Amino acid sequence: MEDWQLKALSTFPELEYEINRNQGGPLSLWDDLYLALEKAYQETPINEDLIRRVYDYAARCLRQPGGENTQNDLASATAVGLIESLPLDARISDDWYRWMSVETFEGCENLLRHHVSQEQYCRLRDNFVRKKEGFAGPSSI
């Protein structure tokens, strides 16, 4: 079993089935983790613990050395599998200021724009910046 899978199993024991059945590498894992993130925001109250673990795992993956493709490049898989999808759910994008630094937001602009129009991106960016200015907490990614 790959190191990223072992770390995922220890970080997300409740997703053991999804992680063990994963044959598509880290990019496929991010499909499952993004679905878990969406569900965490649907809970009342939101599942802060799971949300934090997803972003902490993402931060760990983004710090890994690059590979040749998304099968062995954890940073690229995380960028495509998570970052690119964040604007798709309003609950997630309304809260990402707590988890993402301004530097990451700006550095991921092309990824964040992938699924949204220019107008939507500008609204997301303005909302992020406004909320980030009033937030003193640390960012995971």
From residue 2, how far is each of 78, 101, 139 by CA, in Å? Answer: 16, 29, 27
Q: Using alpha carbons only, how large is the chain's radius of gyration in Å?
A: 15
Q: Where are the domains of the chain?
A: 3-133
Contact assessment for residue 87 and residue 121, using Cβ atoms and an 8 Å cutoff: yes
The structure tokens listed for 31 are 């499909």
Q: What is the pLDDT of residues 54-94, one digit of tens each?
A: 999 999 999 998 877 667 789 999 999 999 999 999 999 99
pTM for the full predicted model = 0.94
